[in-house]
Chains A and B, each alone.
Chain A
Amino acid sequence: MRWSKTGAGLAVVALCCALGVSAAAPEQQLTVYTAQTSYSLPVVDHGGKPYIFVTDLLLPLGTSRPTAKEKDWRISVNKTDLRLTAGKDKGTINKQAVDLGGKALLENGRFMVPMDAVLPLLGRLLNTTVDFHQTARRVFVGDTFTRFTVGFKNGDQPALILTFSQPVRASRSHQEKRGVLTHPDTTTLTFTKDPVVSELKTQQYGDGAIQSLSFSEENGTAFVTVSGNKPLQLVQSDDGRTITLQPQAPDVSATPIPTQPGGPSAEGQKRAPEFFVMIDPSHGGNDKGATFGGKLVEKDITLRLAREVRRELEERGIPARLLRESDTDLGLDRRAEITNEQHASVYVALHAGRPGKGVRVYAPLLSDAQQQQTGRFLPWEAAQSGAMSRSQNLARVVSEELKKKGLTVASMAVVLRPLNNITTPAIAVELAPDENDLQSPDNQKRQANVATAIASAIVQVRNQIGARQ
C-alpha cells in the first residue's frame, strides 16, 4: 500500500516534469510574410532535418486544391504547376526540375519537403524575389519588409522612439504571440505577424534608465529588446507606426505596463481599429469568371472597378485595400480569412455578370437558425450572423446611391461565398455590362458611376459601422 502511494506520487511528479518540459519547449515554426498576409506553419524534425508540409506553405497563397495519385502530388499556383513524387529529391515546376534539398516525404496523405526547399519553391511558383532568413525561419515574399529607425531622447525623461515603415499591429488570433514582456530592466517587443527587420544588432545608450536596444529574430519571430535600470512604459501612435518607450512613473511601477489614454492597452496593445474597406475584385488567375463578347472576362472588369472604387474612397479620406492587385488565384475561403484577419470594417465584393444592363446589389442570406448563432465561436458558414443587419443596411444605402446616379438597380439577399464567412458588414455588387458595346464611353461612365456610388454609400455608413466596432 505504502509502495503504491509512493509510486503514484512519483508518477505524478514525473508527469508534471514531463508536462513542464513540453510546455517550456516552444513549437518550431516558420513564418511567411507576403504583401497580403502573413502566416506561420509548423516545422517538424525528420531524421535530424527540418521539414514542412507543402499544403501549409502553399494553400494560404491561394492555390488550387492539390491532387494526389499514389506517390505523385500536384498543385497549381498562379497558373504554375508544381509536381512532387514521394521519395524523390527533385520536383518539377512547369516541367522544369527543382531541387528540394532532400527527399519529399508522404506522411498520412500529406506531402513534406525539407525546409530549405522554401526558397526555390516560392521564388519560382510566385515568380518574385524571396528572402529567406534561414536560421530565424522567416520568409519574406517580394518587398514586404517593415523597417524601423530608432531615435533616442536623453535628459530627465529619456525616451526611445521606434518609427516603423508600416503600421505594426497585433493580430487578434495571435495576441499571445505579440505583446510586451516587461521585467524590471528589460522590455521585449515581439513581432510574429509583422515583417519587422533591421540591420541593427545592438545599440548602447549609456547607463541610465534606457541603456541599450537590440534586435534579434528566431523561430519565425522578431524581437526588439530594450534594457535599462527601470521598467519602461510603452505608447503607440494611432497610426501604429510609432512606439515610444519611456521610464514609468514611480507610483505605477507595480503594474506591468500602464494603459495610456488614447494609446495601447497593456494586453497586446489593443487600439481602436482603423476604419478601412476591403475591396474584393472577384475571380483572378485561372478563374476567369463570366466572359463577355468572347474577349472581355469578369476577372479583368472586377480588378479595374476595384481600383476605381479604391481611388474614390481614398479621395474621401477612407483607406481601402484590394484583396488582389494583379491577375492571381485566390480561393474564396482565403478571401474571407484575409478580410477577417485584418479586421476590415467593410467588405465589398465586385462582380460582373449577365443578364441585363444595370447593377445588382447582394446582401448575405442566412436562415433564421443561422442568424441566431451567437457566442465567441461561430460556424464558418454563419460567421456573418453578427453583422447581418449592418450588411443589409449597407446594401440598402449602396442601392440608393446607385439609383441617384440613374442606374437600374436590383437588390436582394443571396447565399454567396464568401459573404457568409465574413464577420464584418459585407455586400457584393454585380455590374451587368452592355455586351453589345463593352468599350463605349457610356459603359465606362456607368462603371465610374458605380465606383462613385459605392464610395459615397460607404462614407454615409462609416460613422455608424465605426461606432459599433
Chain B
Amino acid sequence: MIPRHFQITIALVLLAILVSGIIIIRMTHKEEALTLQAAEAAPAAPMVGGKQEHIQLLLAYDEDQALRWRSADVFLPADRNLRARETLRSVLAQYLQMPSPHPLAKGADIKDVYFISDDTMIVDTTAQFADGHPSGILLEELTLTSLIETLTANVPGIARVKFLVDGKERETLAGHADLMSFYQTAAVHKLAKEFE
C-alpha cells in the first residue's frame, strides 16, 4: 500500500511535467512563427556573393537640389542582373540611412531587375518605394535620375530602363515623374549633367 501523501506528491510532479511540456511546446511554436514572419517580411532575393568593389554612386541632395558623385565599397556579383540590382540597392541604402540626403520611405527597395534585351532593363521596386515617395517633380526626378545614372555608370550597355512597382506598371512615381515610359539613358545622362 502506497502512502496517501506519496500518491499526492507523484500526482503533483506529473502535473508539473505536463504543464511545463505544454508551455515549452507553445513557446517553441511562437518562436517558429516569429522566425517565419521575419523571413516573409524580408525581400525575397538570393544571397549575394561577389567581390568588394569601389564604385561611384550619383546621389541626390535635396537641400542643394543637386546630384553629386560619391564613392562606396559594395559587394558586386559577376552576374549582370545581380550586379545591377545590388548597384541600385546601394543607392537606396544611402537614402534610407539617417540622416539622409534624400529621404525615402522605409521599405523602399529593389525587388528584382531583369533584362528584356541586351540593352533594355526592367527594374521592379517594392510598393513602399512609390507609395511612400515624397511628391514633387524635382524630388521624383532626382530619385530616378540618381538610380539610372548610377546604374549605367556601373553596369555598361544599358540604353533603356523601365520601372515597375510591385510587379505592375504605374503611371507616375508619386504623381509626377513618368513610370509608363522607357527611360532613355542617353537623355537621362543629359539631365543628370544639369543637376550636377
Contact = CB atoms under 8 A, between A and B. Distances in A.
A360 B137 contact: yes
A354 B171 contact: no
Contacts of A298: 135, 175
Given A367-B186, A410-B65, A412-B195, A283 B136 contact: no
Contact of B138 (A289, A360, A369): A360
A413 B184 CA distance: 14
| SS class, residues of chain A in contact with chain B | mixed
Contact of B172 (A413, A417, A430): A417
Given A287-B175, A290-B175, A354 B187 contact: no
Interface in A35-51: none
A289 B135 contact: yes
B143 to A, nearest CB: 12
B62 A355 contact: yes
Interface range on chain A: under 10, 10 to 19, 20 to 34, or 35 or more? 20 to 34
Contacts of B79: none
A457 to B, nearest CB: 19
B157 to A, nearest CB: 16
A368 interface: yes
Contacts of B180: 381, 417
Given A351-B176, A355-B62, A430 B137 contact: yes
A430 B184 contact: no
Contact of B63 (A355, A366, A368, A417): A355
Interface in B142-196: 171-172, 175-178, 180-181, 183-184, 186-188, 190-191, 194-195
A416 interface: yes
B134 interface: yes
Contacts of A368: 186-187
Nearest to B182: A381
Interface in B124-145: 134-139, 141
Contact of B175 (A283, A331, A370, A413): A283
B187 A365 contact: yes
A362 interface: yes
Nearest to A351: B137
B178 A353 contact: no
Interface string A339-364: 00000000000010111100010100
B191 to A, nearest CB: 6
B177 A416 contact: yes
A380 B190 CA distance: 22
B177 A356 contact: no
A282 B140 CA distance: 15
A289 B137 CA distance: 10
Contacts of A290: 134-136, 175
Contacts of A370: 184, 187
B139 A413 contact: no
B191 A412 contact: yes
Given A415-B178, A417-B178, A417-B180, A367 B63 contact: no
Contacts of B183: 415
A332 B186 contact: no
Nearest to B61: A355
Interface string A407-424: 000101111110010000
B136 A430 contact: yes
Contacts of A283: 175
A353 B190 contact: no
A413 B178 contact: no
A417 B179 CA distance: 9
A343 B171 CA distance: 24
B136 A413 contact: no
A415 B139 CA distance: 13
B137 A413 contact: no
Interface string B30-50: 000000000000000000000
A381 B181 CA distance: 7
A428 interface: yes
Contacts of A362: 137
Nearest to B175: A289
A428 B178 contact: no
A430 B183 CA distance: 22
Interface in B2-37: none
B138 A355 contact: yes
Given A369-B184, A415-B183, A332 B172 contact: yes
Contact of A353 (B63, B136, B172, B194): B136
Interface in B51-66: 62-63, 65
A420 B181 contact: yes
A413 B63 CA distance: 20
Contact of A417 (B171, B186, B194, B195): B171
B187 A367 contact: yes
A298 B134 CA distance: 12
Nearest to B181: A381
Contact of A413 (B176, B186, B190): B190
Given A289-B175, A415-B177, A417-B172, A353 B135 contact: yes
A428 B172 CA distance: 16
Given A290-B134, A353-B135, A410-B65, 19 more contacts: A290-B135, A291-B135, A331-B171, A353-B138, A354-B136, A354-B138, A355-B138, A356-B138, A365-B187, A367-B184, A368-B186, A381-B180, A414-B137, A414-B141, A415-B191, A416-B178, A417-B171, A417-B172, A430-B137
**Those 7 A-B pairs whose CB atoms lie nearest each other, nearest first:** A353-B136, A367-B184, A290-B135, A367-B187, A417-B178, A412-B194, A355-B62
8 contacts: A332-B172, A354-B134, A365-B190, A370-B187, A413-B194, A420-B181, A428-B137, A430-B137
